[in-house]
Amino acid sequence: MTPEQAYTELVRLSRDETVLSSCLDLVEWDEEVCMPRGGAEHRAEQTALLAGLVHDRAVDPRYEELLAVVEGSPLVADAESPAAVNIRELRRGFDRERRLPRRLVEESARVATLASQQWLASREQADFKPFARWLTRSFELAREEADAVGYAEVPYDALLDDYEPGLTTRRVSALFTQLQAALVSLVDSLRGMPAPAPAHVLAREFPIDRQRLFFEGVATALGFDFERGRLDVGRHPFCTSIGPGDVRIAIRYHPRNFAQGLFALLHEVGHALYDQGLDADHYGTPFGKALSLGLHESQSRLWENLVGRSHGFWAHFYPQLRGTFHEALHDVSLDTFRRVINHAAPGVIRVQADEVTYDLHIIIRFELERALLSGDLRGADVPGAWTEAYQRYLGVAPKNDREGCLQDGHWAEGLIGYFPTYTLGNVYAAQLFAAAERTLGPLDDAFAAGDFRTLRDWLGEHVHRHGSRFSGAGTIERATGSAPDPSAIVDSLTRRYALQANAG
């Protein structure tokens, strides 16, 4: 068998595995967006079965045979070519997956569905107790996964590597420590500042049907293609790609918390633009797929914060917004509105956090999940540890577990080692945006003129179209000229928020 033949067969195997895996993605999307409560038990069987089948394909011994034929051949001489990238990533995926026992894969899928159901119920009732054993079970399974996959220093490395290949716990910790110092001092400078007088305007009534129309218009203007995607209501905001031509966003609408829905929308549109910008010709192979969740998150955070809170963005959209929600906004000027949505103050809810405090929410989760994984923290002790961490980092305490440790569903879903990618995303986003402006000039005027394409094209060129070509850090380095580094985000936040502190 020639390397070319082996490569063709590998691409076929990869495509097949991806199509099957995309069925699981759809089933999981449905679970979040559509499934009636009564369907949960059966859904756990469906996801377990599909996850098992995907795993079977991922560990197909033919991968080993075929990879051996291609590896070291001239086909992969150019490390940045699609073939070389695909072989590198198929090898990495195969080596990881074949270490996972099938039983563990099925059990993790099943527990993710059932734990999520219990999380939902517990959150509704603000009652952590019945969720505790599911949380413990999720971390047991994550630990089993880490032990099966192997790691250099700590078990957490093995999980992190699945979401952000190439990055270690040690390196993330160093980066976060540096960031945290800057953030804590910035937060301190903001503390005690009164909220801008008209902050309550966002708690006025913004009818949901009009929010929907407005959001659809914004998503379209930013470049989201509704012929190749959907916008739905989910139990929490997310974006998933079912296949090329089918990228789905889910958000929640809050009639009296307009900003929460809006920024969730912008966030998920950022993810969706990345997925819609991947090279569909390479669908089903690593080259057609995003590799780093940190990089993915950089896209969502960039559109959410660096675009969606900018002067230009609102110079363009505010007149329409005010027309759509005349009752709520008739007495609110553009400047006031921007001041309100750019107000920073410590709070207890991550998804409502401003840009300045957001990463402290993540740092708390990063700390707690490492402790849970190592066994230093027990599942049952999470509520106390959570409250203690919030007091320590943010000086606030949740009133109950609903707005405390039950606010996020990630751990129930088995997304452990995932939270740091949010902050990596913020760090990367600031670097990318600064680099884009170095090349394109200040973008505010373009936004004000309704031009979001200039930025989108730059991101497409430097991020989206590369799929798995480079690691997250590698992409940042190529696109911005620097390795991942928190100085861009600290600069950006200081420039915008220290000013607010001075003005306040």
State yes or no: residue 121 binds a copy of itself (CB under 8 A): no
Residue 486, amino acid = P
* Touching a copy of itself, residues 231-260 (CB under 8 A): 242-246
Closest CB to a copy of itself among residues 35, 360: 35
Per CB under 8 A, the segment of 44-52, 211-219, 402-410, 457-465 that binds a copy of itself is 44-52
Closest CB to a copy of itself among residues 84, 114: 114
Identified binder of a copy of itself from the candidate list 3, 93, 223, 229, rule CB under 8 A: 229
Strand (E) or helix (H) holding 278: none
State yes or no: residue 216 binds a copy of itself (CB under 8 A): no
x/- letters, 75..114, toward a copy of itself (CB under 8 A):
----------------------------------------
Identified binder of a copy of itself from the candidate list 9, 26, 144, 471, rule CB under 8 A: 26
State yes or no: residue 329 binds a copy of itself (CB under 8 A): no
Closest CB to a copy of itself among residues 246, 477: 246
Closest CB to a copy of itself among residues 12, 191: 12
State yes or no: residue 20 binds a copy of itself (CB under 8 A): yes
Strand (E) or helix (H) holding 246: strand 246-251
State yes or no: residue 197 binds a copy of itself (CB under 8 A): no
State yes or no: residue 40 binds a copy of itself (CB under 8 A): yes
State yes or no: residue 309 binds a copy of itself (CB under 8 A): no
Which residues are tagged catalytic? Answer: 268
DSSP state of 213: H
Residue 444, amino acid = D
Distances in whole angstroms, Cα of residue 150 to Cα of each of 61, 73, 95, 274, 370 = 20, 28, 11, 31, 16
Closest CB to a copy of itself among residues 23, 182: 23
* Touching a copy of itself, residues 263-302 (CB under 8 A): 283
Buried/exposed 329-368: b ≥16 CB within 10 Å, e otherwise = beebebebbbbbbbbbbbbbebebbbbbbbbbbbbbbbbb
Closest CB to a copy of itself among residues 275, 401: 275
Q: In what order do the strands lie in the sheet with 246-251?
A: 229-233, 246-251, 238-243
Residues that bind a copy of itself (rule: CB under 8 A) add up to a total of 35
Identified binder of a copy of itself from the candidate list 35, 105, 430, 479, rule CB under 8 A: 35
Closest CB to a copy of itself among residues 23, 199: 23
State yes or no: residue 23 binds a copy of itself (CB under 8 A): yes
The dihedral built from the CA positions of residue 150, 152, 156 and 158, taken in this order, carries a sign that is negative
Minimum gap (Å) between residue 60 Cβ and a copy of itself: 14
Q: Is the CB of residue 472 less than 8 Å from the CB of residue 294?
A: yes
Minimum gap (Å) between residue 53 Cβ and a copy of itself: 7
State yes or no: residue 22 binds a copy of itself (CB under 8 A): yes
Identified binder of a copy of itself from the candidate list 10, 11, 27, 328, rule CB under 8 A: 27
d(CA 301, CA 306): 7
Distances in whole angstroms, Cα of residue 9 to Cα of each of 4, 240, 504 = 9, 27, 63
Distances in whole angstroms, Cα of residue 184 to Cα of each of 356, 389, 394 = 9, 13, 8
The closest alpha carbon to 413, from 164, 109, 23, belongs to: 109
d(CA 141, CA 144): 5
Give the other-Cβ count within 10 Å of 185's Cβ. Answer: 12
The dihedral built from the CA positions of residue 164, 287, 307 and 495, taken in this order, carries a sign that is positive
Contact positions vs a copy of itself (CB under 8 A) = 16, 19-20, 22-23, 26-27, 30, 34-43, 45-46, 49-50, 53, 225-230, 242-246, 283
